[in-house]
Structure 1
Amino acid sequence: MIGYKSFFFGLLLTGAVAIGAQVATAPAPANEAAATVPAAADSPASADAAPANAQTLARGTPIPPAELEAFVDGYLRRAMANEHIAGATVSIVQNDRTVLLKGYGLAGIDPVRPVDPRKTLFRIGSLSKTMTWTLIMREVEKGRLKLIDPINQHLPPELQIPDQGFKNPIRIVDLMAHAPGMEDVSAGHLFVDTPERIIPPAQYLAKHRPDRVREPGLISSYSNYGLVLAGEILARLNGVDFETLADRDIFGPLKMTHSTFREPYEPRQGIPQPMPKALADERSSGFRWKGGRFEPTTYDYITQVAAAGSISTTAEDMTRYMRMHLRNGTLDGVSMFGPQTAQLFRTPIMNVPEGSNGWAHGMIVNTLPGGFKGYGHGGGTSSFFTYMDLIPDLDLGIFISTNTQGGFGVAVPLSAAIVNRFYVGEAPMQRPGDKALAARAADYEGLYVNTRRAYSGLEGFMGLLGGVSKVSVTPEGYLITSGGGSPRAWVPAGKPGQFRAAVGDDYLNFGLDDKGKAKIYYQLASGFERSGPLMNPSLLTNLAILTLITSFGLWVAFLARRATTSPVVAQRRSHHALLAAGAFWLIAMGLFFLLLSLLPDMNDKAPFPPTLLMLSSLSALLATIATIAALVLMIIGLRRTAGDRAGWTTWAVVRHALAILLFLALAFVVGMRGGLLPWM
């Protein structure tokens, strides 16, 4: 979960913004506050990653703590320096003991505070969801819920999800698989910028209900709204707010004394009690890298969607959570759930091909080097990025959280790096392409649109600017996916529609129709559905450029008194309407480009849509109306002058008609994407 500015800007300008944090003289990430377990205490904190000839371990052999610390130190020193990350906190458990617990870098800059893995609270975002699902599974074990229950039977009428023409009800298990079949709407309300804008979860669910767009259970497409529904079901079932339930049934039994779903704000009637001051004082700041320094970011208030990601916790508390899951639901004599439930947390819900995420009852299934399977979750707020992997075959749990924008690329690869270094030892290799793929290129090539998006309105319009992926095939037999990130190359993996990364362990799976033609491909948390040319970003860009040139030309000609005129009133009015349309298009595009230029510094938690976007959309709508008026008036004028030479010349009519058609084409493409709805 991330704020809308971060989401849209990431789509539009992927990887183009330098992000990080603010310290007058930024210390190197090696400025660490270590709380290492005794076995690792003597290892050199400055040690680099293991040498290339380091020996790997047999599957049942635990990682030596000193070697593990040296490797993680080297990994984070390089990664934090390269990505400008202010601070990180790490905990690793194996064989039911903590083998690494360490803080790196800064938790605050005024005053300077190092990260303490035992005390410093980091926000873990959507990793919180695994605790929500733990609470759900406890209710299933008690017999008070069934995974196949329609969610509406556990919700009051005002919160029930209407069928909207779909046949099957949404079930609890569909929420766990992120497959409720709903669009994803979040801009301006998933995170909010002030405590005054926090609303109770029930009110949030009623106010921001997304539309259903497909039958449930078909496609996993990440849904924060689904988690808020699950949290509300739990709260109503137990007669307490969700935060109190988590304190009672998760953090209390597991003795996670520095963990909470609560947030720091003044007490207010109607919303849960705030975070205790003792915990609030230990929170890490969030940062971004700007102007060559670390700069604190504003707080993300998520109480209205707490079950989806509001936890603040420490690396030490996460050792207890990971040990509990790796011990099949038991920790220090406390049983959170039984072995059958533990197995479900490692059993995919959906029947998906190898390498796809089938959502093991709320846990992401992650393919790691050597064929090992990780079960866990990532999490992101505006500034914090987190990943947890539980690897049962190695009895290993890895948790990392960073506190700076850009930390996602640091947090996510750590578990794969550790597994590869200590249990696999493979150097990166490139798999050869398959030239036979070129003969079947048409089966895969084309445009694909992300299923995790708003399907209408301005949020839908903005999402489509970067939520389109292009698939192509090279003559050497590599399939290339590009869009929403750096291009990646894939090679056929043997089964129809299945591909393996040219470099790395990832898989890419396509859903094929009866003729073997791709209709969708699956990513970690969503799918990309094949789309037609109307969703091509180049089409919108080219039409906008031509409209910009034409609008400017119309006004230059008019101001220079070279515009073709007509004695027919309707034709003169058509010309004036077209001038107005051109002016409105110029205004719309000017406002939109201004919005893009300001986007990096805009408050991504403010209400959506921003004023500039609404004004741009309104101008585009007025341009569309003026263009339609110009077309109607042109037709009237031509009818009145049929058979005489009182009207425009043939060339003037052609020029005028072409300009109208161009403006209408742009209006159609913008409208199909939701850009002509300034009120949505």
Structure 2
Amino acid sequence: MFRIISNLFFALLALCIASPALSAANESEAAAMEAFLGPLIERQLAQFKIPGATVAVVKDGRLIFSAGYGLADIATSKAVVAEDTLFNIGSVAKLFTTTAVMQLVADGRLDLDADVNTYLRDFEVPARFDQPITLAHLLTHTAGFDEHQIAILVGSKGVTPGLGDYLQRHMPTRIRAPGLQYQYSNYGMSLAGYIVELTSGVPFTRYVEQHVFKPLAMEDSVYGASAPGRFYATAYALTFGNQIPLESFETAITPAGGVHTTATDVARFMIAQLQLGRYEGGRILPEQAAGAMQKTHFQVDAHLGGSAYGFYERRHNGLRILEHAGDALEGFSSLAMLLPKHDIGLFVSYNGREGGRARFQLANAFLDNFFPAKTATMVPPTGFAARAGDYTGTYRLNRHTRTSFLRLVGRSLAMETQVRDNGDGTLSFNYPADLMPPARWTEVKPGLLRRVDAEVYAVFTRVEGSGQFDRLALDAPMQLSLDRVAWHESRGVTALVLSTFLMTFVFGLLVWPLASVIRRLRRRPSRSTRHVRKLKGLAVAFCALALLFLAGYALVVAVQTWGVPIWAHAVFAIPYALILLTIALLTNLASMWRERSAALLTKLYYTLVATLALGFCMAMAHWQMLGFNA
């Protein structure tokens, strides 16, 4: 008994002696973070015209710094407070979903390598390839699903569908065998969350609240934007110099996003991850499960980061970084970043659409300041000029729709980069400068490139094994996989083709009827043959219907994230009418060419018109616009 009391006395004495030193260390670290992050974020808010931001930094199992900057709400001049202001963290919430899956794996209720159909009840994933999709594929974004964003949002007055109902109605096409290529998928992570719901017998959001938020004392973390007694930040879009507040939305795919939380709550989650599941004497994951969550499970090349479960991995200044970014469609942008080796975590969130640019700028500045690079400049190898042509060309991010009516929009909006030969043994990528600064790249070995001035790599691979490279993989500023684009499929050519069609239809609809009216006003008789008059009428009808279709298509695209309206089926029936008109145009054109009275110039003119009509029908088929195809 005396020994126990003696040990307790000396332990308390040691704690009392150490406390001032610990307090001083905390204050020193906090001051260093404030001195670095404060001015940087203030500059960002001014530079990118963002109203506010919230940030937290953790180290060695404790919160060492948190702060709010700017305004959470412009109308009320409410300032951002790190402990109280809720931001929509978008896809950062996928880390909570992954944690929930790993909890059930640790309990023996889920198997990461089992076919997901083992756990589904009301529907199943079609067996399109020999290899089934597993939870491991879902958590690493390698399941092979096409991109799908239809009906993912629910307005403030809308009714959120059941998770299972949504996933059953909106299952995307499987476009490749699982485990072959990284392609970020909201659907895949939502399916993983639904399996948590089915296996636990508890609605997904309630499960996360009880098994993730509650053990971590994340009392200000909620799904949705309507919890009482909370202060939600307002997101803004800069429009013509004015900050326009944006409406908050609920999401139908809650496992993929939809969490509103504070910087200090996210800090608690980061501490638990860095402590391999442990938090203040409790656990949200066994150490082995937490370690498995942070382990690399998919990787294109050892020089690049890969996919852990939930996290994506990248390299910067020789560091291994686990992170996840999040973008809420109403205008929030966030990033959670962990440095497991150094037991450090950083979280930041902005309430403006330009936050997507600011977050990576902040993260890289943080890394460069506290963990500066020690890499020597790379010297371009001899003989590279002969191989440079294998790399050059246009590459497109593989996260875009291929198998629905959104194919045109997906390809047009997906990020593209041109790889160009500088002629001096280096290549350049016209990558968005806010995501990656302008840089020269040179070859380390065939297929592997490195920035001349930094240890950042790019990996090129061939599908067929010879000729030009087909794919480009990067891990900066996040894991990205891009496919080579044929010249005729590039964004520029697509825009040119679409603009040509549009101008032709407007010209045909306005000029031909106007010319007819002018001729009648001048009382000049028509000298057109019967077939020419028919062709003119068919062409005007085609132009009118084509413009009606394009206008209806644009409206459907504008609202598709909230759902596809009933009248969309009528819009996508118009292409069939356009095909019939094209057949009629070609038939009458053939008859006109047999006429001797029609002028050659007239014949050539209407041949061009019919060719354009046929080309538009072929383009609609290529863009998946024939009939409603979601």
- Shorter-chain TM-score range: 0.7 to 0.9
Establish whether residue 179 from structure 1 lines up as the match of residue 139 from structure 2.
Answer: no
Match of 2:540 among 573, 579, 582: 579
Q: Is the 8 A contact 1:119 1:282 kept in 2?
A: yes
CA distance in 2, matches of 1:432, 1:608: 54
Give matches, 1:475-554, under 5 Å.
475-482=423-430, 489-501=439-451, 506-512=456-462, 513-515=464-466, 517-523=468-474, 524-548=478-502, 550-551=504-505
Q: After superposition, give the CA deviation of every residue in 1:301-355 in whole Å (9 maximum; x if it has no partner).
A: 02x2111112111111222211111111111111222332232233211132145
Q: Which residue in the other structure is 1:204 paired with?
A: 166
Q: Which residue in the other structure is 2:18 paired with?
A: none
Match of 2:563 among 607, 612, 615: 607
CA distance in 1, matches of 2:367, 2:505: 58
Q: Which residue in the other structure is 2:54 paired with?
A: 89
SS of residue matched to 2:299: coil
Change (3 A) 1:87 1:545: closer
Q: Is the 8 A contact 1:354 1:507 kept in 2?
A: no
Change (3 A) 1:367 1:578: same
Give aligned pairs, total.
Answer: 593
CA distance in 2, matches of 1:565, 1:470: 53
Establish whether residue 371 from structure 1 lines up as the match of residue 318 from structure 2.
Answer: yes
Alignment identity in percent? 25
**Matching residue's letter, 2:232:** R
Q: After superposition, give the CA deviation of every residue in 1:18-39 in whole Å (9 maximum; x if it has no partner).
A: xxxxxxxxxxxxxxxxxxx975
Change (3 A) 1:656 1:483: farther
SS of residue matched to 1:528: strand
Establish whether residue 284 from structure 1 lines up as the match of residue 236 from structure 2.
Answer: no
Change (3 A) 1:625 1:508: farther
SS of residue matched to 1:222: coil
SS of residue matched to 1:576: helix
CA distance in 2, matches of 1:241, 1:198: 13
**Matching residue's letter, 2:410:** G
**Matching residue's letter, 2:371:** Y
Q: Is the 8 A contact 2:552 2:571 kept in 1?
A: yes
**Matching residue's letter, 1:384:** F
Q: After superposition, give the CA deviation of every residue in 1:445-469 in whole Å (9 maximum; x if it has no partner).
A: 3343432122133322211123262
Change (3 A) 1:251 1:560: closer
Q: Is the 8 A contact 2:412 2:494 kept in 1?
A: no
Q: After superposition, give the CA deviation of every residue in 1:221-256 in whole Å (9 maximum; x if it has no partner).
A: 111111111111111111111111112211111122
CA distance in 1, matches of 2:241, 2:23: 37
**Matching residue's letter, 1:81:** A
Report how far residue 186 of structure 1 moved.
0.6
Change (3 A) 1:332 1:550: closer
Q: Which residue in the other structure is 1:142 paired with?
A: 107
Change (3 A) 1:433 1:115: same
Greater CA radius of gyration, 1 or 2? Answer: 2
Q: After superposition, give the CA deviation of every residue in 1:381-404 in whole Å (9 maximum; x if it has no partner).
A: 022111111102221111111112
SS of residue matched to 1:456: coil
After alignment, is 190-199 or 537-546 more displaced?
A: 537-546
Report how far residue 211 of structure 1 moved.
0.9
Report how far residue 502 of structure 1 moved.
5.4
Establish whether residue 242 from structure 1 lines up as the match of residue 204 from structure 2.
Answer: yes
SS of residue matched to 1:359: coil
Q: Is the 8 A contact 1:222 1:525 kept in 2?
A: no
CA distance in 1, matches of 2:430, 2:552: 28
Establish whether residue 444 from structure 1 lines up as the match of residue 391 from structure 2.
Answer: yes
Q: Which residue in the other structure is 2:176 paired with?
A: 214
Change (3 A) 1:284 1:357: same
Q: Which residue in the other structure is 1:60 paired with?
A: none
Match of 2:260 among 298, 312, 323: 312
SS of residue matched to 1:85: coil
**Matching residue's letter, 1:366:** R
Change (3 A) 1:80 1:354: farther
Q: Is the 8 A contact 1:195 1:301 kept in 2?
A: no
**Matching residue's letter, 2:515:** A
Report how far residue 436 of structure 1 moved.
4.5
CA distance in 1, matches of 2:489, 2:559: 28
Report how far residue 74 of structure 1 moved.
1.1
Establish whether residue 465 from structure 1 lines up as the match of residue 416 from structure 2.
Answer: no
TM-score (norm 1): 0.79
Change (3 A) 1:631 1:207: same
CA distance in 1, matches of 2:506, 2:88: 49
Q: Is the 8 A contact 2:87 2:351 kept in 1?
A: yes
CA distance in 2, matches of 1:509, 1:657: 48
Q: Is the 8 A contact 1:466 1:484 kept in 2?
A: no
CA distance in 2, matches of 1:485, 1:162: 41
Q: Which residue in the other structure is 1:58 paired with?
A: none
TM-score (norm 2): 0.85
Report how far residue 550 of structure 1 moved.
4.7
CA distance in 1, matches of 2:23, 2:356: 30
Q: Is the 8 A contact 1:85 1:404 kept in 2?
A: yes
Structure 1 segments unaligned to the other structure (5+ residues): 1-36, 43-62, 265-274
Q: Is the 8 A contact 2:333 2:356 kept in 1?
A: yes
Q: Which residue in the other structure is 2:371 paired with?
A: 423
Q: Which residue in the other structure is 1:349 paired with?
A: 297
CA distance in 2, matches of 1:201, 1:586: 37
Q: Is the 8 A contact 1:117 1:314 kept in 2?
A: yes
Report how far residue 619 of structure 1 moved.
6.2
Q: Which residue in the other structure is 2:609 paired with?
A: 659
Q: After superposition, give the CA deviation of every residue in 1:137-184 in whole Å (9 maximum; x if it has no partner).
A: 11111111111011000010x321112x32211111000110111111
After alignment, is 545-554 or 375-384 more displaced?
A: 545-554
Change (3 A) 1:148 1:621: same
Q: Is the 8 A contact 2:145 2:175 kept in 1?
A: yes
SS of residue matched to 1:168: coil
Q: Is the 8 A contact 2:549 2:571 kept in 1?
A: yes
CA distance in 2, matches of 1:210, 1:553: 38
SS of residue matched to 1:196: coil
Change (3 A) 1:120 1:540: closer
Q: After superposition, give the CA deviation of every residue in 1:249-292 in whole Å (9 maximum; x if it has no partner).
A: 1111112221123542xxxxxxxxxx3x23xx222222223354
CA distance in 1, matches of 2:104, 2:334: 27
SS of residue matched to 1:457: coil
CA distance in 2, matches of 1:441, 1:588: 44
Match of 1:116 among 76, 81, 87: 81
Report how far residue 112 of structure 1 moved.
2.6
SS of residue matched to 1:214: coil
Q: Is the 8 A contact 2:225 2:248 kept in 1?
A: no
Q: Is the 8 A contact 1:287 1:405 kept in 2?
A: yes
Q: Which residue in the other structure is 2:401 paired with?
A: 454
SS of residue matched to 2:85: coil
Q: After superposition, give the CA deviation of every residue in 1:346-377 in whole Å (9 maximum; x if it has no partner).
A: 32111321454421122110222x21111121
Q: Is the 8 A contact 1:631 1:660 kept in 2?
A: yes
Q: Which residue in the other structure is 1:32 paired with?
A: none
